[in-house]
Structure 1
């Protein structure tokens, strides 16, 4: 293992002690207030989230998709607090300066049951003990958090802790008709969000436009993780004003995209029938069979770059997913009404196969 000798001597008990110590600080920050507790139910897993600090609550709470499982004790408990908003700092970590790796990873903390990442640009520490179902995110100052945080709050600790329950967060959108759907894969600018929002506007089911929870299996399923979709001015113009009510007053992200609230329309689960790779084109066409290796490269690169830690599990899930489902490319053009027609035709064909 690369890094400081202190990390090399780290025991599982010592790692667990650090996680629990950070939870104790977070719990004290929430007790001092201001604080807010939310109950989530991503992919049917009960999750309790405690947010502490006024600025942090304001920025993160709107993106979390609330839900509950009646009578169940939470399987996962997550905490988030910031130093400026609560006056509390994270305890000294049990690793040294040379243990900070690429992709915000930390040597000795890249695999379950103990995972951690640190963003030096935004002074943000994420830590999880997956066996205990605990996760904490600490920020030095919520007012200067990473600009993408509000659109997908707590995504690292949610991803790490949910994986133990068979739900895996990947960089993808998901839409469908009835109970069947497709997974949309693509890097930024590929037309993934526009495709998803065009389907929503046409009355189709929307699970997500950016990050999706997937449960692998003979028939994989897709589930929402967040309560936000994103749309830039060009997408909103193409959609012809159909989402203007959602866009009105919605916050802008760092790319000038509106964070649209979708908690009231999000679909809780779709049985996945295919994977679709949208690509921007002069006009929308029919779905065309594609090489699954291209899809794997697309989703693996975008997912692993954005989501540090536990890469081996993620790659295994992606390979299984793309070995199970047929893969298609879909040209998407400014004739956005044709997009849901093409997606719907593909879903009908695959569901009947």
Structure 2
């Protein structure tokens, strides 16, 4: 799998931008309903090195602010939330960014380091998920399928795991988390280059889709656009929500696609190959005859049998109208 490699500084800037858009800015301490005291762009006071991190970020503290952070650092873990919510600190946006990018981002790179990801947009996505879920969950059983996909260089499977299978466990925040994962999956990328999809890449995308078709259909029906094109629960349409709520990310990385839109580049590549293979049928091998959701490929692997072999030959289904001729 080829990564969109970046310089270290560019990678850190992109990772920080991504997290800032997802977390939102809060100048004062607040309760994020997760048992922690939070400020800025998702920075939590529930740690024992707040003074060190504020100094590393270059934030000038009054003596009273420094003393309060020192009290939090020395407190028992169960006392830090209450103390953090009382912190007499108001951050500017730049201070909050410095606290994230210069001081605390490194703490959330453990999972990406263990996965040996280069500085890239893909690594930035893993850091964003870690910032949201924590290293323990990203490196634990919950996201083992994602890590297995990376080990097998299976970009399509990794994309699926991000978009559909890594939102978390808080049902109260499920819509917002799925919205975030939808944008993170778009940034990670289903294709290395959607304008130049290879045959193997197209087959890999459809193997992933065939393997998870039922689950994708159920989740899209509830959280996106159903396979029949309907979106009955607009308030929970994470595709619409993500494209509305993350405009700056959309400008850089593109819109979060519906599943039909996501599959279209793979469908188009497979049809192109078929037209070259069967020129006498070229006029009948157009996109109208093969909607993206109606292409079937042998996934070549079982749901419960990782790692995921990629050598199985794929068979693209023909419409009944063509089979009968």
* TM superposition score normalised by structure 1: 0.27
> Greater strand share, 1 or 2?
1
**Greater Rg by CA:** 2
Greater relative CO, 1 or 2 (CA 8 Å, sep 6+): 1
> Greater helix share, 1 or 2?
2
* TM superposition score normalised by structure 2: 0.29
